[in-house]
Amino acid sequence: MKAGRLYLLAAAWGIVLAGCSGFGRVEQGQVIAYDRARGLVTIIADSNYKDPANPRFDVLPPITLRVPRNRAEMGPEPEAGRLLALNWRVGEAVVFDPATESLRRIPIAVMDVQLNVARDDVRLRGRAFPVVDRASATVTVLLPRQRAIVTFRPPEECFGWPEDTWKVGDEIRYYYKDPSQALRLMNVSKTELGGTKS
C-alpha cells in the first residue's frame, strides 16, 4: 500500500472513532507480548505516530493494555515478537530485551536480502518466520512493511536467545479513553500491510 493511502486510512479511522464518541485518543505500536487468556497486549509505542507509513517503535517503557471487552471491536489477534527494527543496509537489528526492559542494538552480518515479497509469494509458502538455522548460525526474518526476507548472522552470544527475539510483532492501532483499556483495536499488520505475517 502506498504511503499516502496508508496515511489517509489512518487519519480517516481516527476521525471516525472521534466522531462516534466525541473524545478519545488513537495510538499505535508493535506487539512484544500477548496474553490471550487475560486479554492483555504489551506494545512498544511509535514515536513517529504523525507519519504512520514510517513508524519508529522505540518509546519506553512498554505499554500494557486490555484488548476490547467486546471482541467484535477487535480485528485478528496479534502475534508478538521482539524484533523492532532491522536495517540491512547498515547491518543493525534493534530488539526489545525483557530482562532490562530496554532496546538493544545488535550488529549483524547480512547474508541475503530478498525484496518485493508479496503476501502470496512462493517464497513464503510452507515457511514460518523467523527461521533459526543453527547449523549455519543464521537467522531469516520476514519484514512485512518492507516486503523483504532477510538472512543474517547475529553475534555468537546472541544466537541462543529465544526465537521470538527475531520475530517482528504485529503492528496495532487502538482507540481508548482509559489508557489501560482499548475500546477498539485494529491489527495493522494483518489488514493494511496485506497479511504477510507468518
Q: Domains of the chain: which residue ranges?
A: 3-79+169-187, 83-166
Instruction: Tell me the fold of 3-79+169-187.
Output: OB fold (Dihydrolipoamide Acetyltransferase, E2P) (2.40.50)
At 171, list the grid cell: 503492528
Task: Give the model's pLDDT for residue 1.
Answer: 45
At 143, list the grid cell: 519484514
At 136, list the grid cell: 549455519
Task: Give the model's pLDDT for residue 160.
Answer: 86
Write the pLDDT tens digit of every residue in 80-138: 999 999 999 999 999 999 999 999 999 999 999 999 998 888 988 888 999 999 999 99
pTM score: 0.84
Per run of 10 residues, the mean pLDDT along the chain (length 198 residues) is 49 50 85 97 95 92 97 94 97 96 97 92 90 94 94 93 95 96 95 58
Say which amino acid occupies 166: W
User: Which position has the grid cell 500477548?
Assistant: 34
Task: Give the model's pLDDT for residue 193.
Answer: 62
SS3 assignment for 53-98: CCCCEEEEEEEEEECCCCHHHECCCCCCCCEEEEECCCCEEEEEEC
Phi first, then psi: give them for residue 163, nearest 5 degrees: -60, -30
User: Which position has the grid cell 517482528?
Assistant: 168
